[in-house]
Structures are given as C-alpha cells and as structure tokens.
C-alpha cells in the first residue's frame, strides 16, 4: 500500500511564501510521477502542478505558473511545492497524489492518480 502525507500548510498573508511537502512510503518513490492538487470550498478539485519520476517533465496550472515550483528529492521520498507570492484565491486544501503505475502518463490528468494524501490547509488572507 502507498501512504502519502502532506505538511507545510498554514495561515499566511498575501504575498507570503509557503513550502508544502509530501512524504511517500510503501513503494519505490523514484519510479513514479507525482502531483499536487487543490480544492477550495464549493469548487472541484483541480491540478496545481505535477512532476515526472525523474523530474525531467513538469506541468503547472496557468493560475500558478511563475509563482509555484514543484520539485522532488527521490533520496528522501519527498515531493515539494514552493509557493511564492500567495494570493487569497490560492486558499484551498492541497493534496498530493500518485499514479498506480510507472511509465509515461498525462501529468495533468486527474484520472491518472489513484493514491491521495489527507490534504493540508493553505489559507491566504488579504
């Protein structure tokens, strides 16, 4: 079984930065792509960013591109999301996710991901 645990969320002011972490266990982390998703109250879950197993391919939602950076440290079985210049509209529960298979996937596709963490709350005030 795969276990994913997010951390690093919190309450910050607009313009501040946060770094989210996702620690994975239960399988060979370095063989799998990973993604960050978020869900605001009353809205659908949406892709934020994703990264291939090697880190060679990345995807960013247009709303976060140039502000957020996804990365991974395979030696630590951990994925990160560096969030800069945070805005109130970034407020959401952030989830990390992993696909059930290795190989080439559509990094932005919700349907590709079967394993999910519990989420970490990010709240950005004005």
Q: For the chain, list residues with pLDDT below 70.
A: none
Q: What is the pLDDT of residue 100?
A: 93
Q: DSSP letters along 54-109, please?
A: TSS-EEE-TTTTTTEEEEEEGGGTEEEEEE-S--GGG-EEEEEEE-SS-S---TT-
Distance CA 55, CA 47 (A): 17
State the pairing for strand pair 46-51/3-7. Answer: unpaired
Distance CA 94, CA 1 (A): 21
Q: Please provide the size of the chain in residues.
A: 126
Q: What is the pLDDT of residue 39?
A: 98
pLDDT in tens, 57-90: 999 999 999 999 999 999 999 999 999 999 999 9
């Amino acid at each position: 079984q795969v276990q994913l645990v997010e951390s690093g969320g919190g309450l910050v002011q607009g313009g501040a930065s946060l770094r989210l972490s996702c620690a994975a266990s239960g399988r060979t982390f370095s063989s799998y792509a990973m993604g960050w998703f978020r869900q605001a109250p009353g809205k659908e879950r949406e892709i934020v960013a994703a990264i291939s197993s090697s880190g060679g391919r990345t995807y960013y939602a247009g709303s976060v591109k140039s502000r957020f950076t996804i990365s991974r440290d395979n030696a630590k079985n951990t994925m990160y999301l560096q969030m800069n210049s945070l805005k109130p509209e970034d407020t959401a529960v952030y989830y990390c996710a992993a696909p059930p298979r290795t190989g080439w996937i559509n990094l932005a596709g919700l349907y590709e991901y079967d394993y999910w963490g519990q989420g970490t709350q990010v709240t950005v005030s004005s």
